[in-house]
Chains A and B, each alone.
Chain A
Amino acid sequence: MLVCRRVAFLGLLLFSIASCSATPPPREAKLAEVQEQSLWGAGAPVYAPTEYDTYKLGLRKANDLLLKEQARFEWFRQYEPARDEYRKVLAQGERVLKLVEERKAEKSSSIKARLQLYTNRVETSGRLSSIINEGRLARRSLTRAEILLREARALHDAGKLFEAEEKLSQVPEYLSAAEDALSPILSRFVDKKHVAMWQRWVEETVANSKAAGAYAIVVSKVDRSLILYKAGKPITTYDVGLGRNGSLDKLHAGDGATPEGKYYITKKLPRSRYYKALLINYPNEEDRSRFAEAKRKGIISRRVGIGGLVEIHGGGKDSMTYGCVALENAEMEELYNIVGVGTPVTIVGALDHKSGIAKALGGL
């Protein structure tokens, strides 16, 4: 009876000690678990991998400490060291989260800037391709670039910044392809020597018109305009259309280019396929010598001819000529009735350095 009472007393005592000293695991452990989830969700493994790894090491250390304590008898457990460790982890987690947000914001703004830059380049090249009617290689590449930009924008908006960046990295290839297709045509329009030569031709033409009190025609390719001078003064300007390769200087038959140089009207054609036409003396001496040199250098095939029958004709300014200069029929009628055989026709790339191409190129 005495033994039973002693055992019961001992049991009660042990129960009391256990109940009094039993402390719950630190709530910081649960907080750290939640924080780790948040960090992962925020993209810490990709935006701050080193810091996240260090954080995880700290968390593992805290977890191990907790496990060790939990392995003890309840009334011997001391959670303070583990709690301290978790507090350190939580503080470190806050720093990592801040860093992640900073890096994400940084990346996002860098992507936005590149998106804007590339979009501008696509738009500028698109405008240039329209000005010079280069609608094949360049436009095709520009479309590919635009698809990538749309993809990158969608990925960026979905928070997939690395994927967006990867798409953006492919854009320059297509932009360069487009710009490479355009640059041989465009470079002449910003080349000072070329522009100076064109300006000299125009000045001579205008001066001759003034001296003779006669009509003269100046065609500016980049402006897509035909200016009619009388006695050295511009009296009318017409919008014109050129061919698919109209921005290039004509070199041979079939190149679709419009010649550049000082010409004159050799024949008036009242019943042309394109309403009415004014035939000019392409090829002139300079054209012939350039053509011969190109052949000698092997730039063009031996079998190709120099071409001819370059006209100012009607048919509409958007009739996509094969190298001629096209006007609306009503305006062609007017011009046809004013000018005569022998009227000088000077065709230049641009009248000055401030052409639309030069401005657009500034955007590249």
Chain B
Amino acid sequence: MKGGWKVSALGLVVLALLFVVGCAKAPTEDIEKAKAATSAAVAGDGAKYAPAEAKALQDSLNKALGEVKAQDEKWFKNYDNAKNMLTKVSADAEALKGTIAKKKEEAKQKATALQGEAKTAIEDAKKLLAKAPKGKGTKADIEAMKADVKGLEDGLAEVQKLFDAGNFLDAVTKAQAIKDKAASVSEQVKGAMAKTGKK
């Protein structure tokens, strides 16, 4: 009889535990928070400046949601791990915002530098053209290269537009192309000058 009372008490404790654990609630608030944080981080420039990181964050969110779903289907629900995962997603999302801002700033700095270098390269070509002999053997070439420089200046104006629109990656590509072409024009001018012996 004494032993029977003990078994009954143990059964009651187990039942109480089952009730408490089985009725654990899904971390709705954490889910919403993590989803909102992820959307805010990957929206806009995320895919452009940190695509791999944005994808990793999205995957982490999906995993956390999967864990929630797994617990939803269990008799003995325990959302602790899911909560931890969701909290980490929210923290990672915040960190990603910083990473994106940093990468965007780096691209901006690179675009600024290359824009300056492209401008200098064009100025160098123009200076060389001004110095180039306008006589025998070169005048037609010089005229043509002056038109090339005009085209480069048109391109440089486009770099500024891209820069103003915050499209720094495209600005970098274009500025680099202009810088290289300006350098090749300078080389051609030097070649034309060498033809006449002028330095």
Contact = CB atoms under 8 A, between A and B. Distances in A.
Interface of A: 2-3, 37, 40-41, 63-64, 67-68, 70-71, 129-130, 133, 135-144, 146-148, 150-151, 154-155, 241, 244, 316-320, 328
Contacts of B177: 147-148, 150-151, 154
Interface in B101-160: 135-141, 143-144, 146-152, 154-155
Contacts of B180: 150
B48 to A, nearest CB: 11
A143 B181 contact: yes
Interface string B170-199: 000110111011000000000000000000
B173 A136 contact: no
A241 B136 CA distance: 10
Given A67-B70, A71-B70, A144 B143 contact: no
Contacts of B70: 67, 70-71
Interface of B: 3, 6-7, 52, 55, 59, 66, 69-70, 73-74, 135-141, 143-144, 146-152, 154-155, 173-174, 176-178, 180-181
B143 A320 contact: yes
A150 B155 CA distance: 12
B183 to A, nearest CB: 11
A180 to B, nearest CB: 15
Given A63-B66, A147-B174, A135 B144 contact: yes
Given A147-B174, A318-B140, 4 more contacts: A2-B3, A137-B147, A150-B176, A151-B173
Given A135-B140, A139-B147, A317-B136, A147 B73 contact: no
A151 B177 CA distance: 6
B162 to A, nearest CB: 11
A319 B147 contact: no
Nearest to B70: A67
A136 B147 contact: yes
B151 A142 contact: yes
Contact of B140 (A63, A64, A130, A151): A130
A316 B101 CA distance: 60
A316 B135 contact: yes
Contacts of B176: 150, 154
Q: Which of B6, B52, B144, B176 counts the most chain A CB atoms within 10 A?
A: B144
Contacts of B66: 63, 67
Contact of A139 (B3, B74, B151): B151
Contacts of A64: 69
Contacts of A130: 140-141, 144
B52 A140 contact: no
Contact of A140 (B55, B59, B151, B181): B151
15 contacts: A2-B3, A67-B66, A67-B70, A70-B70, A71-B74, A137-B147, A139-B147, A140-B151, A143-B181, A144-B155, A146-B151, A150-B177, A150-B181, A151-B177, A320-B140
B46 to A, nearest CB: 14
Given A71-B74, A147-B177, A319-B135, A244 B151 contact: no
Nearest to B179: A150
Contact of A147 (B74, B149, B151): B151
Contact of A318 (B6, B138, B154, B173): B138
Contacts of B143: 133, 135, 244, 320
Contact of A144 (B140, B146, B151): B151
Contacts of B154: 140, 143-144
A319 B139 CA distance: 7
A39 to B, nearest CB: 11
Contacts of A139: 144, 147-148, 150-151
B151 A141 contact: yes
Given A3-B3, A146-B181, A316 B144 contact: no
A133 B139 CA distance: 10
